[in-house]
Amino acid sequence: MPIAEKAPVLERITPPPTPRANTKRSVASTINRRTHPMWFLAPAFAILLVFFFLPTLFNFIYAFTDWSGFKSSINPTGLDNFTQLASDGTLFRAIRITLVYAVLVALFQNLFGFALAVLLERDNRVNRIARIFFLIPVLMSALAVGYIFQALLKPEGSLNGLIGVVLGRTFDYAWLGDTTWTIVVVALIHSWKWMGLSMLIYLAGLKTIPEDILEAARIDGASRWRTFWGIKSPLLAPAVTFNVATALLGSMNGFDIVQATTGGGPARTTEILNIFIYRTFGQGLFAQATAMSLVLFLLVALLAFPVIRTLRKREEIL
């Protein structure tokens, strides 16, 4: 399925090996080659081939055909699908909405995750329990999260009920019915689900800051505020790289939460690219849907490299 195949892009964001490992590499690799021959990789490659490489390849092939639910033959059509998409404003609107959504999610998810990590940094019992609670949404089914929030945010839902009690009058704002602000609400839901993961990574970043640097800062008389902004936050750069990149690129491929909360509405203002693709596919226009998913793939790839390069640049000061 075209929607699920962009995961490999995210896998590139692993930290580089440390210099110490490099010096030992030649010795290690000689031993490795004898005890672990290359063909041990074959099963892994076979799986990679069938589940990642082939779908991606088909994504390229079918995008240039007229594959549809209406007839049995599949004929090459060249760039027809792409010229048609370019001439129709719907694709650009979907791309714009996708980008807005991704930026909002990246922003919110990192803000929440960072704030939670700072709040729950110290290792005591309350914090440990709190961390678990904030991690639970990450493990939940995204569709379930979407449907729960859809129910909560209905005009007659619990949230409005609560606000009504506080205000002392009936409150029936349609949180998912506003053509301007619903995308923000949905991005907040997406961030709520994933903020636990960002929190975990920021926490890991905070924990790896060497104690001696912090001690040196304390001895130099730096305030806690100064220590935080002058030492801790720059040293979190690798965590920022990972979190921003995964949130941004992951939400570009978003589908489940939006589908469960708004289905692309109201008036298609939350119709991100994957929902548009899903709708097109459902009409039997398989080739057009594949062409769009190729556009999404290229978009994610084009965005991934500069974003990751820029964020990596920030790490070089370390």
Which stretches of the chain bind other proteins, using CB under 8 A? 38-39, 41-42, 45, 49, 53-54, 57-58, 61, 65-74, 84, 88, 90, 155, 174, 177, 179, 265-269, 279, 281-288
Strand partners, 65: 76
Cα–Cα dist 294/3, whole Å = 10
For other proteins, the closer CB: 89 or 221: 89
CB 11 → other proteins: shortest distance, Å? 18
Q: How far is CA 207 from CA 38, 75, 89, 116, 210, in A?
A: 37, 57, 48, 14, 8
For other proteins, the closer CB: 154 or 312: 154
Cα–Cα dist 209/214, whole Å = 8
CB 317 → other proteins: shortest distance, Å? 36
Other CB atoms within 10 Å distance of the CB of residue 107: 15
What is the Cα Rg of the chain in Å? 24
CB 101 → other proteins: shortest distance, Å? 17
Among the listed residues 65, 83, 94, 93, the one whose alpha carbon sits nearest the alpha carbon of residue 285: 65
Cα–Cα dist 62/65, whole Å = 5
CB 103 → other proteins: shortest distance, Å? 21
Q: CA-based diameter of the chain, in Å?
A: 76
For other proteins, the closer CB: 52 or 192: 52
For other proteins, the closer CB: 279 or 312: 279
For other proteins, the closer CB: 187 or 285: 285
CB 111 → other proteins: shortest distance, Å? 29
